[in-house]
Amino acid sequence: MQKKGKFDYILLETTGLADPGAVASIFWVDAELGSDIYLDGIITVVDSKYGLKHLTEEKPDGLVNEATRQVALADMILINKTDLVSEEELNKLRTTVRSINGLGKVLETQRSRVHLSNILDLHAYDTLSGISLQKKLEHVPTAPHLDQSIVTVTFEVPGSAKEESLNVFIQNLLWEKNVKHKDGRCMEVIRLKGLVSIKDKPQQMIVQGIHELYDLEESLVSWKDDAERVCQLVFIGKNLDKDILQELFITAVADAEEQRTAPGKDGVGPSH
């Protein structure tokens, strides 16, 4: 990277068993690296013929299998070799992929043929993602609940958050890992994304989390004076319980005064 201007784009292909979150985290930790290049997005390719087998494979000791984690962390998912399976098999795979990751974009391909404009310049981690994220949050699919370890959970809460309390809420999830499912299992958040309103800040704030790292920054969109402020969050992870997450967010984060004055609304977005 010392030869600035040499590269237009870098595609980093990890091994088949790699955890892409660990690689992605480097760009947030290494300030010098991040000043020259930025993380644009994570792309995962799913094999139509064997993908379902890999995604549903049970690992010992409650470990998450690598294929499921790779789909969970993806911003773009290519379901490849669609010509080698029946429509019924393809539908099962689509449903499974969507239930794991309801936020990533899905493209179906043969021989991995895809136009570069679909997989480059995703801007999945910077302020430009704020506008596209707003549209995505409105259309996170309501996937059927499947008996699998990793799922997507989303909710919306009216009002503004207190920044300090939001930080504590996220740190408890990502660092302390002390938030538990109703059956006692610890919730593990692999990916966190959302648009939140922070009290006294005019801009919509983007929150991004991956592994044990997270970032909160201003988007390019400001709240309109007459707009009802809301916080919209999407969690992808293991042992997630939507009701508990939403209740904790309301209790620990949402501004009490705004909660009392917010218009009647159940504050629940699409989920499963």
Q: Per-residue confidence of the chain (272 residues) as pLDDT tens digits? A: 677 667 788 898 988 778 888 888 877 766 566 567 788 899 999 999 999 999 988 877 767 788 999 999 999 999 999 999 999 999 999 999 999 998 899 999 999 999 999 999 988 887 666 666 777 777 676 655 565 678 899 999 999 998 999 999 999 999 888 888 888 888 999 999 999 999 889 999 999 998 888 988 888 888 888 888 999 999 999 889 999 999 999 987 765 444 444 444 444 433 33
Domain shared by 128 and 163, yes or no? no
User: Which residues are CB-neighbours of 188 under 8 A, at least 6 positions away?
Assistant: 64, 177, 237, 238, 239
Domain shared by 73 and 165, yes or no? no
Task: Yes or no: say if 256 and 165 are a contact pair by the CB < 8 Å rule.
Answer: no
User: Which residues are CB-neighbours of 206 under 8 A, at least 6 positions away?
Assistant: 127, 129, 130, 133, 194, 195, 215, 216, 217, 218, 219
Q: How far is CA 167 from the centre of its chain?
A: 17
Asked if the structure places residue 272 within a domain, the reply is: no
Provide the CATH number for the domain around residue 44.
Answer: 3.40.50.300
Which tokens belong to 130? 């704020």
Q: pTM for the full model? A: 0.83
Question: Which pLDDT value is given to residue 226?
Answer: 83
Asked if the structure places residue 90 within a domain, the reply is: yes
Domain shared by 60 and 118, yes or no? yes
Asked if the structure places residue 70 within a domain, the reply is: yes
Domain boundary among 138, 170, 205: 138
Asked if the structure places residue 267 within a domain, the reply is: no
DSSP 8-state class, residue 83: G
Domain total in the chain:
2
Q: Which residue segment(s) compose the domain that 102 sits in?
A: 20-138
Domain shared by 31 and 111, yes or no? yes
Domain shared by 128 and 154, yes or no? no
Question: Which pLDDT value is given to residue 97?
Answer: 94
* Four-residue CA torsion sign, 26, 27, 33, 39: positive
How many angstroms separate the first and last alpha carbons of the chain?
44
Asked if the structure places residue 271 within a domain, the reply is: no
Domain shared by 131 and 181, yes or no? no
Question: Which pLDDT value is given to residue 116?
Answer: 93
Question: Which pLDDT value is given to residue 146?
Answer: 61
Provide the CATH number for the domain around residue 165.
Answer: 3.30.1220.10
Domain shared by 204 and 248, yes or no? yes
Domain boundary among 138, 166, 187: 138
Asked if the structure places residue 237 within a domain, the reply is: yes
Quick check: helix, strand or coil at residue 166?
A: helix
Domain shared by 190 and 127, yes or no? no
Neighbouring-strand partners of residue 45: 78
Asked if the structure places residue 79 within a domain, the reply is: yes
H or E stretch at 250:
helix 242-252
Domain shared by 84 and 34, yes or no? yes
Domain boundary among 138, 166, 188: 138
